[in-house]
């Protein structure tokens, strides 16, 4: 095992282990990292400590004269100056330089050769290295030998806190991106998803400036035609679950770009939610959790090391990271033709949005810019109502340009390629959270199948009196009363009231964008 020099990155540690094979990273994790263990399935279990999800409030972007006019500054992109970034970068390097061993992963983001970007991860936990080995596109030995200098470097010093006395730090966690120098610094969070979404944020900056649309979506392709379908949606709406579809080829579960040639996956792996995962309902994902996969923050039996996917003791957000080829129908390389369908997923915990609606071009823009989903009542005492969440482009936290930039690109591509667009509710049916129940996965799968077969384009529809879109009223595999939500609610007055309430929340949220969109998009929202 030869050591690799990271001197050009200011790393003085002698023992740098670069692109270790998973088996060797396992050995390192079991030997060196008390927060790692081996599951009986062969997956590597790891704990991320206190942070078990992303820390969006702690993200910072360096304000730089070359990029500042392009950035959508605000709550998502909070500026820091170059000097403060330098302080955090030095803190991260100083911490990493105290370690006896460091891990380095050199790999790519972007399956389209014209967009391929060289990424380097420098980290101190073997699990972080295995995670990015799984999530990025793995170089061949020849490609690794010719890798040269990376375009983006992630300094993951997540075990070490940020200094709260540093200007602009509001907690001990800081995730800082310098778009101009291609550096990402992570302090005070060991949640591995920060690295993956850091790369995505970079892609969200680079792609639009090159005429490509970066998208927070999963994607599948038709086995015969190679045409694709993309599923946008916020966290927990079903992107990953629905893209593991035995009838289709898997292109990717989370991050894609749409170019003049079609679509490509940014990543080389998937990051699935595993709470309550079963082999019956999600067999492809379940069987991917074998040797090589990382299982984050799950609970396992002390004797058998068997994982209990139903236990949310550490977090609701238990996760698995595995290479995309662990899913049987993955298409390598992860590229496909232009989409036939764009599906907007929402998990409506109010239970008023129909399981599937057809959207006009203007309605698509309205809903894309709104980016609605809902969170179910948390564990807080007294909170019984669902909470509406609006996040532009179904990926607000990762946008760098103004949402309008991505919306314009999407509108143009949908028109050019004559794409059908759909709004699919994977959330509640028969009543709001507390009264109704989550849409059965089998029902949503039938709907997605019907969309992909082309059958749903000719299906009968009825106009929704509150939201104004066309609701599909007959679909194989779905009972008719489920398709029209008002029919599945026992209390019709409660339905009407809840629907109007949600419509009001849409209108309130859209005020922010009213001035920046065309009147026909503004008028494509709720009508009732």
Residue 236 binds which entry of Mn ion, ligand ATP, none, CB below 5-8 Å type-dependent: ligand ATP
Among 110, 150, 198, 238, binds ligand ATP (CB under 6 A): 238
52 binds ligand ATP (CB under 6 A): no
Residue 426 binds which entry of Mn ion, ligand ATP, none, CB below 5-8 Å type-dependent: ligand ATP
Among 30, 312, 332, 441, binds ligand ATP (CB under 6 A): 441
List CB contacts of 81: < 8 A, sequence separation 6 or more. Answer: 62, 63, 167
134 binds Mn ion (CB under 5 A): no
Backbone angles phi and psi of 69, in degrees to 5: -70, -15
Q: Nearer to Mn ion by C-beta: 126 or 236? A: 236
Among residues 358, 294, 283, 284, the alpha carbon closest in space to that of 325 is found at: 284
Stretch of residues binding ligand ATP (CB under 6 A), selected from 87-95, 204-212, 265-273, 382-390: 265-273
DSSP class of residue 383 equals -
Among residues 334, 251, 336, 319, the alpha carbon closest in space to that of 285 is found at: 319
Q: Nearer to ligand ATP by C-beta: 52 or 235? A: 235
| Cα–Cα distance, 241 to 37 (Å, whole number) | 26
351 binds ligand ATP (CB under 6 A): no
Among 84, 240, 317, 370, binds Mn ion (CB under 5 A): 240
| Number of neighbouring beta carbons within 10 Å of residue 268 | 26
Torsion of CA 283, 285, 288, 292, to 10 degrees: -160
CB burial of 407-427 (b: ≥16 within 10 Å; e: otherwise) equals bebbbebbeeeebbbbbbbbb
Q: Nearer to Mn ion by C-beta: 240 or 425? A: 240
DSSP state letters, 118-182: EEEEEES-HHHHHHHHHHSBPPPHHHHHT--S-SEEEEEETTSPPPTTSTT--SS-EEEEETTTT
239 binds Mn ion (CB under 5 A): yes
Least distance to ligand ATP, CB of residue 258, Å: 18
**What is the rounded end-to-end Cα distance, in angstroms, of the chain?**
67
Residue 292 binds which entry of Mn ion, ligand ATP, none, CB below 5-8 Å type-dependent: none
Q: Nearer to Mn ion by C-beta: 197 or 413? A: 197
Residue 233 binds which entry of ligand ATP, Mn ion, none, CB below 5-8 Å type-dependent: ligand ATP
Among 117, 201, 241, 488, binds ligand ATP (CB under 6 A): 241
| Cα–Cα distance, 374 to 372 (Å, whole number) | 7
Stretch of residues binding Mn ion (CB under 5 A), selected from 144-152, 235-243, 324-332, 432-440: 235-243
List CB contacts of 16: < 8 A, sequence separation 6 or more. Answer: 3, 4, 5, 6, 101, 102, 103, 104
273 binds ligand ATP (CB under 6 A): yes
* 3-state helix, strand and coil shares in percent for the chain, rounded to the nearest 5: 30, 25, 40
Least distance to Mn ion, CB of residue 218, Å: 7
Q: Nearer to Mn ion by C-beta: 394 or 510? A: 394
Among 61, 272, 342, 344, binds ligand ATP (CB under 6 A): 272
What residues between 101 and 120 interact with ligand ATP by CB under 6 A? none
Residue 110 binds which entry of Mn ion, ligand ATP, none, CB below 5-8 Å type-dependent: none
| Number of neighbouring beta carbons within 10 Å of residue 351 | 29
Radius of gyration over every alpha carbon of the chain, rounded to an integer in angstroms: 23
**Under rule CB under 6 A, how many of the chain's residues touch ligand ATP?**
20
Active site residues: 54, 197, 216, 235, 239-240, 254, 319
307 binds ligand ATP (CB under 6 A): no
220 binds Mn ion (CB under 5 A): no
Backbone angles phi and psi of 116, in degrees to 5: -60, 130
Least distance to ligand ATP, CB of residue 40, Å: 22
Least distance to ligand ATP, CB of residue 243, Å: 8
Element spanning 452, H or E: helix 441-453
348 binds ligand ATP (CB under 6 A): no
Stretch of residues binding ligand ATP (CB under 6 A), selected from 39-47, 49-57, 139-147, 235-243: 235-243
Where do contacts with Mn ion occur on this chain (CB under 5 A)? 239-240, 254
Where do contacts with ligand ATP occur on this chain (CB under 6 A)? 233, 235-242, 254, 271-273, 275, 282, 426, 438-439, 441, 444
């Amino acid at each position: 095992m030869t050591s690799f020099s990271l001197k050009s990155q200011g790393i003085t540690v002698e023992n740098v282990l670069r692109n270790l094979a998973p088996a060797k990273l396992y050995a390192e994790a079991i030997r060196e990292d008390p927060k790692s263990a081996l599951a009986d399935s062969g997956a590597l279990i790891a704990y991320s400590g206190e942070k078990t999800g992303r820390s969006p409030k702690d993200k910072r972007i360096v304000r730089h004269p070359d990029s500042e006019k392009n950035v959508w500054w605000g709550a998502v992109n909070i500026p820091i100056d170059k000097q403060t970034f330098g302080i955090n970068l030095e803190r991260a390097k100083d911490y990493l330089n105290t370690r006896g061993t460091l891990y380095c992963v050199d790999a790519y983001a972007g399956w389209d050769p014209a967009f391929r970007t060289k990424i380097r991860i420098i980290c101190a936990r073997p699990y972080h290295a295995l995670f990015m080995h799984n999530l990025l596109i793995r170089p061949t030995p020849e490609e690794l030998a010719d890798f040269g200098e990376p375009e983006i470097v992630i300094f993951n010093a997540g075990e070490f806190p940020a200094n709260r006395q540093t200007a602009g730090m509001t907690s001990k966690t800081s995730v800082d991106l310098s778009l101009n120098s291609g550096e990402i610094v992570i302090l005070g969070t060991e949640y591995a998803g920060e690295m993956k979404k850091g790369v995505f944020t970079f892609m969200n900056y680079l792609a639009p400036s090159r005429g490509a649309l970066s998208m927070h979506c999963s994607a599948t392709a038709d086995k015969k035609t190679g045409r694709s379908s993309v599923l946008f949606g916020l966290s927990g709406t079903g992107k990953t679950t629905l893209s593991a579809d035995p009838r289709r080829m898997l292109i990717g579960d989370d991050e894609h770009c749409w170019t003049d040639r079609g679509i490509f996956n940014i990543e080389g792996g998937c990051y699935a939610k595993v709470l309550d995962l079963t082999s019956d309902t999600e067999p492809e994902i379940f069987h991917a959790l074998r040797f090589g996969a990382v299982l984050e923050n799950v609970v396992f039996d002390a004797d058998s090391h068997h994982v209990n996917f139903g236990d949310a003791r550490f977090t609701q957000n238990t996760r698995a990271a595995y290479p995309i080829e662990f899913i049987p129908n993955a298409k390598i390389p992860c590229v496909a033709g232009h989409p036939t369908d764009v599906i907007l997923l929402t998990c409506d915990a109010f239970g008023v949005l129909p399981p599937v609606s057809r959207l006009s071009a203007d309605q698509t823009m309205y809903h894309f810019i709104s980016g609605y989903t809902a969170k179910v009542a948390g564990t807080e005492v007294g909170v019984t109502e669902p909470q509406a969440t609006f996040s532009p482009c179904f990926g607000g936290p990762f946008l760098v340009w103004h949402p309008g930039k991505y919306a314009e690109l999407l509108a143009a591509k949908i028109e050019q390629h004559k794409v059908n667009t759909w709004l699919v509710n994977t959330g509640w049916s028969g009543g709001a959270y507390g009264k109704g129940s989550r849409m059965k996965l089998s029902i949503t799968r039938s709907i997605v199948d019907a969309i992909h077969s082309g059958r749903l384009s000719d299906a009968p529809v009825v106009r929704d009196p509150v939201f104004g879109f066309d609701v599909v009223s007959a679909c194989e595999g779905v009972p008719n009363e489920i398709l029209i939500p008002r029919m599945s609610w026992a209390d019709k007055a409660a339905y009407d009231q809840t629907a109007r309430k949600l419509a009001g929340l849409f209108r309130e949220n859209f005020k922010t964008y009213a001035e920046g969109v065309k009147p026909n998009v503004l008028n494509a929202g709720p009508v009732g």
